[in-house]
A and B are shown apart, each in its own frame.
Chain A
Amino acid sequence: MSHDTKHRLVYMANQISKAFAHDQEDKAVEEISNHLKKFWEKRMLAQIFEHLDAGGEGLDPLAKKAVAALQRSAQPA
Chain B
Amino acid sequence: MGLIQETDYGTKPSKATALVTLTIDGQSITVPEGTSIMRAAAEMGTRIPKLCATDSLDSFGSCRLCLVEIEGRPGTPASCTTPVGQGMVVHTQNAKVAKLRKGVMELYISDHPLDCLTCSANGNCELQDAAGEVGLREVRYGYEGKNHLDAEKDVSNPYFQFDPSKCIVCSRCVRACEEIQGTFALTIDGSGFNSKVSAGINEDFFDSECVSCGACVQACPTATLMEKSVIEVGQPEHSEVTTCAYCGVGCTFKAEMRGEEVVRLVPYKDGKANHGHSCVKGRFAWGYATHKDRITKPMIREKITDPWREVSWEEAISYAANKFKQIQAEHGKDSIGGITSSRCTNEETYLVQKLIRAGFGNNNVDTCARVCHSPTGYGLVNTYGTSAGTQDFDSVDEADVILVIGANPTDGHPVFASHMKKRLREGAKLIVADPRRIDLVRSPHVEAAHHLALRPGTNVALVNALAHTVIEEGLADEDFIRERCDWDEFAEWAAFIMRKENSPEATEAHTGVPAAELRAAARLYANARNAAIYYGLGVTEHSQGTSTVIAIANLAMATGNVGRPGVGVNPLRGQNNVQGSCDMGSFPHEFPGYRHVSDNTARRILEMDWGVSLSNEPGLRIPNMIDAAMDGTFLGLYIQGEDIVQSDPDTKHMVAGLSAMKCVVVQDLFLNETADYAHVFLPGCSFLEKDGTFTNAERRIQRVRKVMAPKNGYADWEVTVMLAKAMGMTMDYSHPSEIMDEVARTTPSFAGVSYEALDKLGSIQWPCNEKAPTGTPVMHIDGFVRGRGRFIISDYVPTDEKAGPRFPLLLTTGRILSQYNVGAQTRRTDNVAWHGEDVLEIHPFDAEQRGVKDGGWVKLASRAGETSLRAKITDRVAPGVVYTTFHHPLTQANVITTDYSDWATNCPEYKVTAVQVSLSNGPTEWQTEYQAHSEQARRIAPPVAAE
Contact = CB atoms under 8 A, between A and B. Distances in A.
A19 B900 CA distance: 15
A39 B618 contact: yes
B618 A18 contact: no
| Centre residue among B547, B619, B624 by max chain A CB count within 10 A | B624
Interface residues of A, number: 20
B904 A19 contact: yes
A5 B631 CA distance: 8
Contact of B624 (A15, A19, A41): A41
Contact of A3 (B543, B628, B630, B795): B630
Contacts of B159: none
Contact of A16 (B628, B898, B900, B903): B903
Interface string A1-27: 101010010001001101101110000
Contacts of B630: 3, 5
Contacts of B800: 1
B148 interface: no
A3 B589 CA distance: 24
30 contacts: A1-B800, A3-B627, A3-B630, A3-B899, A5-B628, A5-B630, A5-B631, A12-B903, A12-B906, A15-B903, A18-B797, A19-B547, A19-B795, A19-B797, A22-B795, A38-B596, A38-B598, A38-B618, A39-B589, A39-B621, A39-B904, A41-B334, A41-B363, A41-B364, A41-B588, A41-B619, A41-B620, A41-B624, A43-B334, A43-B628
Interface string B465-500: 000000000000000000000000000000010000
A40 B621 CA distance: 9
Interface in A34-49: 35, 38-44
Interface string B586-622: 0011000000101000000000000000000111110
B914 to A, nearest CB: 13
A1 B334 CA distance: 26
Interface in B868-911: 898-900, 903-904, 906
Contacts of A12: 903, 906
Contacts of A21: 795
B128 interface: no
Interface of B is mostly: loop
B93 interface: no
B467 to A, nearest CB: 15
A44 B634 CA distance: 12
A-B pairs with lowest CB-CB distance, top 4: A15-B903, A5-B627, A41-B620, A19-B903
B708 to A, nearest CB: 41
Contacts of A1: 800, 898-900
Given A1-B900, A15-B903, A22 B619 contact: no
A41 B904 contact: no
Given A18-B903, A22-B795, A41 B631 contact: no
Which of A18, A38, A39 is most buried by chain B, counting CB atoms within 10 A of its CB?
Answer: A39
A38 B797 contact: no
Given A18-B797, A23-B793, A38-B598, 20 more contacts: A1-B800, A1-B899, A3-B630, A3-B899, A8-B899, A15-B543, A15-B903, A16-B904, A19-B795, A19-B797, A22-B496, A38-B589, A38-B596, A39-B589, A41-B334, A41-B618, A41-B624, A42-B617, A43-B628, A44-B624
A36 to B, nearest CB: 10
Given A1-B899, A19-B547, A39-B589, A8 B620 contact: no
